[in-house]
A and B are shown apart, each in its own frame.
Chain A
């Protein structure tokens, strides 16, 4: 039985120098599950203690956000290999205090190449110019040194007064430069 995937939202196809940014799709499941069930996913609630059902629900959650909000997380695919290497984008589930720019690199091999910087720079521009955002934050686990370094490189600063999402553990709220700051 083959079922055509319905177009639930008009999900843009964006490109950076080295990446294609596109909608999450069913074929991403294996690569995503490898990440979500690895130690690398500890900062985003995953890890080896979970099972593939968990990974599938999270991937469905990423896709469903598009349907509810009209924007959401993209999967970044390497242009040269066609491999999905991470997921990032504007994220604003119903229990978030304000819209977030989020990022995750799925594999060790794709780390350290500036992929997240490249993708998030493009997606931040998209959020400000197409979605009309006037500000953006990123929620980062204080122990996640790599993501904190990227936030700094993106020009973000910790916003001590900003509201926290209702996680069990507190996160750092990194405030991005606004649209005017980036002109």
Chain B
């Protein structure tokens, strides 16, 4: 079971601050999305509004065709895990029991396996847990809920590296068996980029990029070689960064390269290379990077 989401002209304001500014996009059912954006670009406001934790200031959200706000059916199918967890201050076993009661898709076996995996103490309250274990509790609830729309808002950043990798593996394994719509927001782009099928990048409350991860990655290219040759080759393209190392220049272009680009580059003694998604993100969202 997977849910589709339709966001149209969504605006979220706090007093005079506009956190989300007329944002429109769709989430296709059964796809893993990466939601990327610098701090304060509205990721948390956006996800919290989709999950009906708060009300939109303007625009519309449709989850499975319905407005999620105060909508019991849609809310039972939507699970947003935020950093910190938003949990009742009860023992882990009671937090899990409560989640099991409100989540129609709850998988108790999966929950038990994840509790073991993350060595989560069952008789401690969230406030007594370390940041890492509190994150782990969020991950357990988020995965075992098996909600048709599951969103993790940097919820796993408190985990140490081995636990994060265990989370990625558990997520992929369970997603493969039980496909659902998943949104992951993260700062650790390098670690998670291969998990995404599509990527949405927010910048200053607006959607900057909404595209297939592979396609986005293929648009970024490094062009390295003698300065004159690089500059001539890249002249018609969108160059987001350029640095010189002596007589050699490396430019980063974000562009669907023409079919003959590789041959022309080779003839000019210029090398083309790939740009990691994280670097592409940095260039696309840095103030001087985008026109």
Real binding pair: no
Interface residue ranges, A against B (CB under 8 Å): none
